[in-house]
């Protein structure tokens, strides 16, 4: 049974776009293998918790359509899915390691730890804990009974090779002499990331740990823990970290990193996920646009390349535009209405506007800019029309008489006025366009005027710039 997971920490405003990428890969891999995808909330670092972050992460995942099979919200047989609710479990497993002499209590003060490290640095050896408390556990336990603060550390044996196979990167090897006797249980009673992630991945029967490259250096520590418990290892695959076009790491300072930002900007969830799918992976037929089903069918972890893929918002915009062009008009209407709920747009006008704007916008947020004049009279005009009043009045008078208010008819009547008045078409239609919409660039004018209706057009022509 294939079981994958993501373990987001509720320590930011939302889920990071890089974590959304990891989520999509985990989700798709589970789907492909008739497996299960789990979302576990990793809230063990109490100092970094952000109020509301957990809820936001879950709702953003949901908005992208990445639905977990097991989570805090949907439950499941391996719960609880929030690590802060699993403290007795970690405690029990820590005790198991202590009883096997694979872990030990440590009561060293911060000051002592710093001194030991400083001393090692001077001697040019890898700074790490010197196992001082390991040799005096009886004494340490007595102190703990008296109430002194303590942590639990993993007892790592010296000079041993830790080797594991990363499905994307191949064999990775590290000598334990480079590893610290890491803390498993902190003095506040919470587990560290290393302890919690291993215990939970084991208990939740995670078969594939697919996560970002930044966790590679933690993996040997996890392997030592699996070995200490005598547990079988899951498969590890470390995905490349997304980069800015200048190859720097995606960071809040340079790029919008929160996944919900892209939705707020009017990117379509499926377009964003399609773009993310191409990070480090390519379709065997080099296709760029494909839906979930096709991705699920074609995706393999082995095809993921380890080098940092570039996440380029411009390219994503292009892809979003491609999605918009292909979307059914009825679905697109709903997306526009949902995107602009606070504007209470007239549904009929949205529907009529779609054929005019669909090929011209790349994001939902551009809709208002291009089609807003169909709902609201312009207040600003990109060109001064005060010299054109007479012309505008003539057009208004002519259009008032039109009986069949269709784009073609409107166009013909206006052309006739232009000819009568001997105004070149270019200038003439620009004047009308600005009077009607306020803007120099709009969807096709005659069609837009048909949508607006005769009365509204006449009023706009008469009232423009007055
Ligand atoms: N909490 C870590 C994160 O935010 C999880 C790392 C892991 O998947 O092991 O990415």
Query: To test ligand 1's pocket by mutation, which of 20, 42, 83 has the most ligand atoms within 8 angstroms of CB?
Result: 42
- Among candidates 257, 271, 376, which has minimal Cα distance to 332? 271
Same domain, 362 and 381: no
Query: To test ligand 1's pocket by mutation, which of 3, 5, 7, 214 has the most ligand atoms within 8 angstroms of CB?
Result: 7
Question: Taking the mean position of all CA atoms in its chain, how far away is CA 460?
Answer: 43
Query: What's the CA angle centered on 303, arms 297 and 307, to 5 degrees?
Result: 135
Same domain, 420 and 338: no
**Structural contact between residues 250 and 311, judged by C-beta atoms closer than 8 angstroms:** yes
Same domain, 96 and 150: yes
Residue 48 has pLDDT above 90, yes or no: yes
More confident of the two residues 255 and 422: 422
**Any catalytic annotation for residue 254?**
no
pLDDT of residue 126: 87
Atom of ligand 1 nearest to the CA of 193: 1
In this structure, the residue with its CA closest to atom 6 of ligand 1 is 7
Q: What is the CATH number of the domain that holds 94?
A: 3.90.800.10
Same domain, 335 and 392: no
- The total number of structural domains in the chain stands at 4
Residue 207 lies in a domain: yes
Residue range of the domain that includes 361: 327-366
Atom of ligand 1 nearest to the CA of 197: 9
Summarize pLDDT for 367-414 with one digit per residue, the tens. Answer: 999 999 999 999 999 999 999 999 999 999 999 999 999 999 999 999
- Among candidates 114, 113, 103, 112, which has minimal Cα distance to 137? 103
Q: What is the CATH number of the domain that holds 381?
A: 1.10.10.350
pLDDT of residue 256: 83
Give the distance (Å) from ligand 1 centre to CA of residue 5.
10
Tell which of 314, 336, 366 closes a domain: 366
Give the distance (Å) from ligand 1 centre to CA of residue 124.
32
pLDDT of residue 299: 97
In this structure, the residue with its CA closest to atom 5 of ligand 1 is 7
Summarize pLDDT for 133-168 with one digit per residue, the tens. Answer: 999 999 999 999 999 999 999 999 999 999 999 999
Residue 121 lies in a domain: yes
Same domain, 109 and 168: yes
Residue 245 to residues 134, 171, 251, 289, 462, Cα–Cα distance (Å):
49, 29, 12, 21, 50
CA 71, 22, 66, 341 dihedral sign is: positive
Q: Is 173 annotated as a binding residue?
A: no
Residue 138 lies in a domain: yes
Same domain, 132 and 154: yes
Question: Taking the mean position of all CA atoms in its chain, how far away is CA 240?
Answer: 15
**Structural contact between residues 11 and 44, judged by C-beta atoms closer than 8 angstroms:** no
Question: How would you class 216 by CB atoms within 10 Å of its CB: exposed for 0-12, middle for 13-18, buried for 19 or more?
Answer: middle
What is the average pLDDT value for the chain, to the nearest integer? 95
Tell which of 185, 218, 252 closes a domain: 185
pLDDT of residue 466: 59
Residue 294 lies in a domain: no
Summarize pLDDT for 442-453 with one digit per residue, the tens. Answer: 999 999 999 999
- Among candidates 219, 205, 218, which has minimal Cα distance to 166? 219
Take residue 236 and report the two structure tokens written for it. 């590890």
Q: Which residue has the tokens 């439950």?
A: 75
Given 67, 100, 252, 326, which residue is catalytic?
Answer: 252
- Among candidates 66, 33, 23, which has minimal Cα distance to 299? 33
Please state, in angstroms and rounded to a whole number, the distance separating the CA atoms of residues 185 and 199: 12
Query: To test ligand 1's pocket by mutation, which of 3, 9, 45 has the most ligand atoms within 8 angstroms of CB?
Result: 9
Same domain, 91 and 174: yes
Same domain, 171 and 104: yes
Atom of ligand 1 nearest to the CA of 8: 4
284: helix, strand or coil: coil
Same domain, 340 and 407: no
Atom of ligand 1 nearest to the CA of 16: 4
Range 39-48 average pLDDT: 94
Residue 310 lies in a domain: no
Give the distance (Å) from ligand 1 centre to CA of residue 254.
22
- Among candidates 43, 44, 42, 35, which has minimal Cα distance to 68? 35
Same domain, 358 and 417: no
CA 30, 31, 34, 40 dihedral sign is: positive
Residue 95 to residues 31, 87, 91, 231, Cα–Cα distance (Å):
37, 12, 6, 16
Tell which of 185, 208, 231 closes a domain: 185
Range 336-343 average pLDDT: 96
Instruction: Give whichever of 117-126, 286-295, 302-311 has the largest mean pLDDT.
Output: 286-295
Summarize pLDDT for 176-190 with one digit per residue, the tens. Answer: 999 999 999 999 999
Please state, in angstroms and rounded to a whole number, the distance separating the CA atoms of residues 181 and 113: 12
CB under 6 Å to ligand 1: residues?
Answer: 7-9, 19, 42, 197, 211, 215
In this structure, the residue with its CA closest to atom 10 of ligand 1 is 8
Neighbours of 106 (CB within 10 A): 20
Pairing of strands 3-6, 36-39: parallel
Phi-psi region of 377 (alpha: psi -120 to 50; beta: other; left: phi over 0): beta
Please state, in angstroms and rounded to a whole number, the distance separating the CA atoms of residues 395 and 399: 6
Q: What is the 3-state secondary structure (H, E, C) of 343-375?
A: HCCCHHHHHHHHHHHCCCCCCHHHHHHHHHHHC
pTM for this model (two decimals): 0.92
What strands, in cross-sheet order, belong to the sheet with 151-154? 103-106, 151-154, 183-185
pLDDT of residue 465: 57
pLDDT of residue 251: 74
Give the distance (Å) from ligand 1 centre to CA of residue 154.
20
- Among candidates 163, 161, 136, which has minimal Cα distance to 150? 136
Residue 166 lies in a domain: yes
Give the distance (Å) from ligand 1 centre to CA of residue 177.
25
**Structural contact between residues 267 and 259, judged by C-beta atoms closer than 8 angstroms:** no
Same domain, 149 and 215: no
Please state, in angstroms and rounded to a whole number, the distance separating the CA atoms of residues 225 and 212: 20
Residue 340 lies in a domain: yes
Residue 253 lies in a domain: no
Neighbours of 288 (CB within 10 A): 14
Same domain, 355 and 406: no
Q: What is the CATH number of the domain that holds 44?
A: 3.40.50.620
Summarize pLDDT for 68-118 with one digit per residue, the tens. Answer: 999 999 999 999 999 999 999 999 999 999 999 999 999 999 999 999 999
Which residues in 132-162 are b (16+ Cβ under 10 Å) and which e?
Answer: ebbeeeeebeeeeeeeeebbbbbbbeeeeeb
């Amino acid at each position: 049974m294939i079981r994958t997971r993501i373990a987001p920490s509720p320590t930011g405003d939302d889920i990071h776009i890089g974590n959304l990428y990891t989520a999509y890969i985990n989700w798709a891999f589970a789907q492909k293998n008739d497996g299960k995808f789990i979302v576990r909330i990793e809230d063990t670092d109490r100092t970094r918790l952000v109020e509301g972050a957990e809820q936001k992460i879950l709702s953003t995942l949901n908005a992208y359509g990445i639905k977990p099979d097991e989570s805090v919200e949907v439950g499941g047989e391996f719960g609880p899915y929030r690590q802060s609710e699993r403290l007795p479990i970690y405690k029990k497993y820590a005790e198991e390691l202590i009883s096997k002499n694979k872990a030990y209590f440590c009561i060293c003060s911060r000051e002592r730890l710093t001194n030991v490290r400083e001393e090692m640095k001077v001697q040019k050896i890898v700074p790490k804990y010197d196992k001082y408390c390991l040799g005096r556990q009886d004494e340490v336990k007595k102190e703990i009974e008296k109430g002194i603060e303590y942590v639990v550390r993993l007892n790592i044996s010296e000079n041993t090779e830790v080797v594991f196979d990363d499905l994307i990167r191949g064999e990775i090897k590290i000598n334990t002499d480079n590893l610290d006797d890491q803390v498993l249980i902190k003095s506040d009673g919470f587990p560290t990331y290393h302890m919690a992630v291993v215990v939970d991945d084991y208990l939740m029967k995670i078969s594939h740990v697919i996560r970002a490259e930044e966790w590679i250096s933690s993996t040997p520590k996890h392997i030592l823990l699996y070995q200490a418990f005598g547990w079988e290892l899951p498969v590890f695959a470390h995905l490349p970290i997304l980069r800015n076009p200048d190859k720097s790491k995606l960071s809040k300072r340079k790029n919008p990193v929160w996944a919900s930002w892209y939705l707020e900007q009017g990117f379509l969830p499926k377009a964003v996920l399609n773009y993310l799918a191409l990070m480090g992976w390519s379709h065997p037929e080099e296709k760029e646009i494909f839906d979930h089903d096709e991705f699920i069918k074609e995706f393999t972890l082995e095809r993921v390349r380890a080098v940092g893929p570039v996440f380029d918002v411009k390219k994503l915009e292009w892809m979003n535009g491609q999605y918009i062009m292909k979307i059914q008009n009825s679905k697109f209407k709903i997306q526009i209405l949902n995107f602009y709920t606070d504007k209470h747009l007239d549904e009929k006008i949205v529907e009529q506007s779609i054929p005019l704007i669909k090929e011209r916008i790349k994001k939902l947020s551009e809709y208002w800019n291009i089609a807003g004049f169909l709902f609201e009279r312009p207040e600003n005009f990109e060109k001064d029309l005060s010299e054109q009043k007479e012309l505008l009045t003539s057009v208004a008078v002519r259009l008032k008489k039109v009986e069949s208010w269709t784009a073609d008819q409107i166009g013909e009547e206006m052309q006739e006025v232009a000819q009568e008045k001997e105004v070149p078409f270019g200038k003439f239609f620009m004047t009308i366009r600005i009077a009607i919409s306020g803007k120099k660039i709009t969807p096709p004018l005659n069609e837009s005027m048909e949508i607006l209706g005769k009365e509204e057009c006449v009023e706009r022509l008469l009232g423009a710039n007055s």
